[in-house]
Amino acid sequence: FGKKLEGIARNSSTHAAGVVISADPLDDHVPVQNANDEGFVTQYDKDNIEELGLLKMDFLGLRTLTVMGDALKLIKANRGIDLDL
């Protein structure tokens, strides 16, 4: 009986700084759940998100935040688009 339970999710959690990015509405690709004051969360894990070809970013590192800030400045300077993340 125990073999049947192997690999089954036993709990859920939310990544502190994980973000999934999609060109289309995210719920066109994965099930989402309202997480109250946290916004929405996917009901898929990071591996499934990547298998679907969606972009998964981890913004815990300060270097990542610096790169994102630089990218926003370059988009504004080169394309005239002001993005608010």
Residue with tokens 């192997």: 6
Residue with tokens 């080169």: 78
Angle at 63 between CA 61 and CA 66, to 5 degrees: 120
pTM over 0.75: no
Partner residues linked to 33 by β-bridges: 41
Q: Which residue has the higher pLDDT, 1 or 82?
A: 82
Q: What is the pLDDT of residues 9-31, one digit of tens each?
A: 776 667 667 888 888 998 999 99
Whether the predicted pLDDT of 78 surpasses 70: yes
Amino acid identity, position 75: I
Chain CA centroid to CA 3, Å: 32
Q: First and final CA of the chain: distance in angstroms?
A: 47
Q: What is the pLDDT of residues 34-73, one digit of tens each?
A: 877 767 888 888 888 899 999 988 877 767 778 888 999 9
Mean pLDDT score of the chain, rounded to an integer?
Answer: 84
Q: What pLDDT, on a 0 to 100 scale, did the predictor assign at position 38?
A: 66
